[in-house]
Amino acid sequence: MATIHEVAREAGVSSATVSRVLTGSAQVRAETKARVMAAVERLGYRPNLVGRNLRKQETHMILVFLGTIVNSFFAKVIKGMEDVAEKNGYHILICTTYGERERELSYLGMLVNRLVDGALFLTTALTAEDINRLGESYPIVQCNEYVEGARVPFVSIDNELAGYAATRHLIQSGRRAIVHMTADAASSTSAARLHGYRRALADSGIPFDPALVLTGNYGYRNASRIMSAFLETGRQVDGLFAVSDRMAAGAAAACRLAGRRVPEDVAVVGFDNVDISYMVEPAITTISQSQYEMGATGMGLLLDRIAGRPVPQSVTIPHKLIVRQSAP
């Protein structure tokens, strides 16, 4: 492989002139530029971008932290991130961490060593102290999930208000014994949706019953098993609000297997408006949030931070209730 010195000899210029032509860092006469580019083409020279970027202290690479690739919710979020990144000359590197703090810290070594320019967290096992310490020195943004007490920008919907709207919809349709199916007690979004559920009950004069809060893992089969076990106890239930559409669909299937009609006997509301919500029968009433907008906004905030521009502490993405057959 040709070197920059060989290109310089071929073009009859200095190595510094070749560098200036390739980086566009200074004005070079058109004739000289043409000779250099012709030499580059003849010799098949490829510049060492890693070395150049390290010298400039920029790589145009962004780390995106993701707990798992199984959840289809994140596909459109990442698409929004990619589009904004590519429009601004950046690329993303997805880091699947499975909720393991040590794995996250290992990936963050790339940020500390200046091999990437910033990091976006869709989920994280880091503490607020971890994030605050990193945020003091490196551009970091939280997207979707956020850690309470972390003083870095974040993008999310108002999850408590969304949980309230989902539960309120069930109450307004005459449901009183409403199960809330949640997941990951450490998740800020799940906690906020639970608060919204409880507030809607309180505003309607319905006592909160902790026995009606069931905890799963966001999965269809897991939710089906949990709901089946609950129905076997003989407890009364006429409504269900789940923190994901996969859980809502699994719970609805368990109701039907137990001889409960959906929505006549048990009305079901999910969350996220992903494909399973409109592929199952009956289609799932759900809370919709713009995943693409969330990802695009998060990446925009991060690029502003990298550029040293001021950014807000938080951005709230709108949500809406999509009414379908499972809870008309």
Statement: residue 26 has pLDDT above 70: no
The CATH number of 159-289, from 3.40.50.2300, 2.60.40.10, 3.40.50.1820, 3.40.630.30, is 3.40.50.2300
Block residue for tokens 């902790």: 210
Reference 267, options 161, 140, 172; nearest CA is: 172
Mean pLDDT across the stretch 262-270? 98
Mean pLDDT across the stretch 251-276? 96
| Whole-angstrom distance, CA of residue 28 vs CA of residue 37 | 12
Please, which residues have CB within 8 angstroms of residue 89's CB and are 6 or more apart in sequence?
A: 60
Mean pLDDT across the stretch 243-267? 96
Assign domain 4-47 to its CATH superfamily: lambda repressor-like DNA-binding domains (1.10.260.40)
For residue 120, CA distances in Å to 50, 134, 176, 206, 301 come to 22, 12, 40, 40, 10
Reported as type and span, the H/E element at residue 267 is strand 267-272
pTM for the predicted model, two decimal places: 0.79
Identical topology for domains 4-47 and 159-289: no
Cα dihedral across residues 84, 85, 86, 87: positive or negative: positive
| Whole-angstrom distance, CA of residue 217 vs CA of residue 271 | 14
Q: What is the DSSP letter of 288?
A: E
Pick the more confident residue, 127 or 20. 127
What's the pLDDT band for 56 if we cut at 50, 70, 90? low
> 94-135, pLDDT tens digit by residue?
999 988 989 999 999 988 888 899 999 999 999 999 999 999
Q: Percentage of the chain surpassing pLDDT 70?
A: 95
Least confident interval from 54-58, 172-176, 308-312 = 54-58
Least confident interval from 16-25, 194-203, 229-238, 307-316 = 16-25
| Whole-angstrom distance, CA of residue 243 vs CA of residue 265 | 20
- Identify the pLDDT of residue 55: 47
Assign domain 58-157+291-318 to its CATH superfamily: Response regulator (3.40.50.2300)
- Identify the pLDDT of residue 196: 98
Statement: residue 197 has pLDDT above 80: yes
Cα dihedral across residues 139, 142, 143, 149: positive or negative: negative
Which neighbouring-strand residues pair with 239?
178, 267
The per-type count for the chain, helices as H runs and strands as E runs, is: 13, 12
Residue 2 burial (C-beta neighbours within 10 Å; 0-12, 13-18, 19+): middle
Highest-confidence range of 107-116, 160-169, 306-315, by mean pLDDT? 160-169
- E strand segments, 23-74: 61-66
- Identify the pLDDT of residue 232: 95
Pick the more confident residue, 126 or 30. 126
| Whole-angstrom distance, CA of residue 317 vs CA of residue 261 | 34
Peptide bond into 312 cis (omega under 30): no
| Whole-angstrom distance, CA of residue 73 vs CA of residue 242 | 15
- Identify the pLDDT of residue 47: 65
| Whole-angstrom distance, CA of residue 56 vs CA of residue 142 | 26
Q: Where are the domains of the chain?
A: 4-47, 58-157+291-318, 159-289
